[in-house]
Amino acid sequence: MNEVRTRFAPSPTGWLHIGGVRTALFEILFAHHHGGEAILRIDDTDQDRLVPDAISGLIEDLSWVGLHFDEGPSNEEIPLDANGRASGMGIGGPFQPYTQSLRLHRYREIAEQLIGLGCAYRCDCTPERLQEERAEQAARKDPLGYSGFCRDRHVSSQVPHVVRFKIPQDRSMVLADAVKGDVRWDPIILRDPVLLKSDGFPTYHLATVADDHDMRISHVLRADEWLSTAPLHLLLYETLGWDAPVFAHLPPVLGTDGKKLSKRHGATFLRTFREAGYLPEAILNFMALIGWSPGDGEEEEIFSLAELTRRFTLERVNNAGGVFSYEKLKWMNGVYIRSLSAPDLQARLRPFLISANLPIDEDKLGRIIPHIQPRLELLPDAVPLVAFLFTDRIERDMSAMLKKGMDAGTASAICTKAAEQLASLPAFDAASIEAALRRVAEESGAKSGPVFAVVRIAVTGKTVTPPLFESIFALGRQQSVHRLNETVDILKIG
């Protein structure tokens, strides 16, 4: 295969959609599998829909999820944020600029070239005239679209106008799609679409074709929804005498109801998943399996980015849509959390604990990490499990403590003995703590289960926590003894 160059061209009109993550991932996997380059390009020609800071947000989101491009907007191309600061996340490359609003002269040049070839023309139809045309077409039950009124009017360049492409009459087209196979349009049903708007900005059709040619894009992997535009793009390549890239229209990302994934199914933006505590590695692994399979009979589902790159081919991209299962993503996220080293998990939990206003003690957190790690599916799941470590005052579920034959006097005696045992331990570690509390049970003449339940609520405030002995060790001797004695005082008052 010749040089492989792919591109991901998001519009900065908001946060990055999870479907866009899948497209960007496939672009990178395919390019790098073949030793090529993946390019990030910003499609910001729709100026009315631009969102401030969206470009830096897109780049930051892509970086967080682990999608790194070989070429893309330089630091000079990325607008400053609301505070006048540069993002510092630029990429650069030999085909700068990679932001379409900075390439307007090129699009105007090509539009004039097409007019000169007699394949495009200026149109000065007003919005009112276009609306009247559509109304008349609807009344006649004709297909809606531009009538071609200005095709032979030779509209002057000195009046406000758009530039339209002249669709050949009775023309058919076949696209050899790398995913769908041959797709036919016989005839092409298009009505002289606009290439250049009256404000001098191109439409998507002109900009993407021009940039893909200029940046030597060899393969266009894009969402299935763009398939209907393929005939126009192929006609533009043909008219301009350019070689068209290989097109691969990717299957849609569907909800479990078989409909296109949308907010009615749940979260759809990458940033929302990030804030919910998903790991970038899990997101990439999961998204790779939506519409692509590693091989016939392959049951393995956990793949690193390097392994995905090694295995990825367009031949294994499915034509049918792939289902996005939130439950499966959560399961996969738990698998990845359990595979992290303790220091790595501690670092990833820190922002969520800070967000919960917990004053973190790194030593305590480090001691409890191995004991909560198996329980986590999402990073914020750790907050209720460790909150008892980072507060001076806890709320105890006393009703849960005083049940099944456990009265206040017995519970008070257990807490008193437990405090004495822990205070006198020569070595304060989980094994010594377990031995001490088992002695408390023996001396109390009670079963260990009810005794441990009393101590757990006294020390942590909850009935369900990380393992008891490890929780006490993580909290520390002084605070554990203090909370046991505090519980004795509460029981006396009660």
Q: Catalytic residues, which ones? A: 263
What tokens were used for 140? 């006649």
Q: How far apart are CA 485 and CA 372, in angstroms?
A: 26
Which H or E run contains 220? Answer: strand 219-223
Q: How far apart are CA 349 and CA 372, in angstroms?
A: 11
Q: Which residues are CB-contacts of 93 (< 8 A; sequence separation ≥ 6)?
A: 39, 70, 71, 72, 74
Closest CA to 414 of 468, 474, 458, 349: 458
Q: Beta strand pairing status for 253-254 and 322-323? A: parallel
| Burial degree of 135 (CB within 10 A; 0-12, 13-18, 19+) | exposed
Burial 213-240 (b: 16+ CB within 10 A, else e): bebebbbbbbbbeebebbbbbbbbbebe
Phi-psi region of 7 (alpha: psi -120 to 50; beta: other; left: phi over 0): beta
Q: What Cα–Cα distance (Å) separates residue 114 from each residue in 36, 198, 240, 368?
A: 31, 16, 8, 68
Q: How far apart are CA 53 and CA 83, in angstroms?
A: 10
Distance of CA 305 to the CA centre of its chain: 15
What phi, psi does 249 have (nearest 5°)? -90, 120
DSSP assignment letter at 226:
G
What tokens were used for 190? 């298009």
What tokens were used for 217? 């894009």
Helix axes 104-116, 204-214, angle to 10 degrees: 100
Q: How far apart are CA 364 and CA 381, in angstroms?
A: 17
Residue type, 197: K
What phi, psi does 344 have (nearest 5°)? -65, -45
3-state secondary structure of 182: strand
Q: Which residues are CB-contacts of 457 (< 8 A; sequence separation ≥ 6)?
A: 396, 397, 398, 400, 401, 463, 487
Dihedral angle, C-alpha 469, 471, 473, 476, nearest 10 °: -140
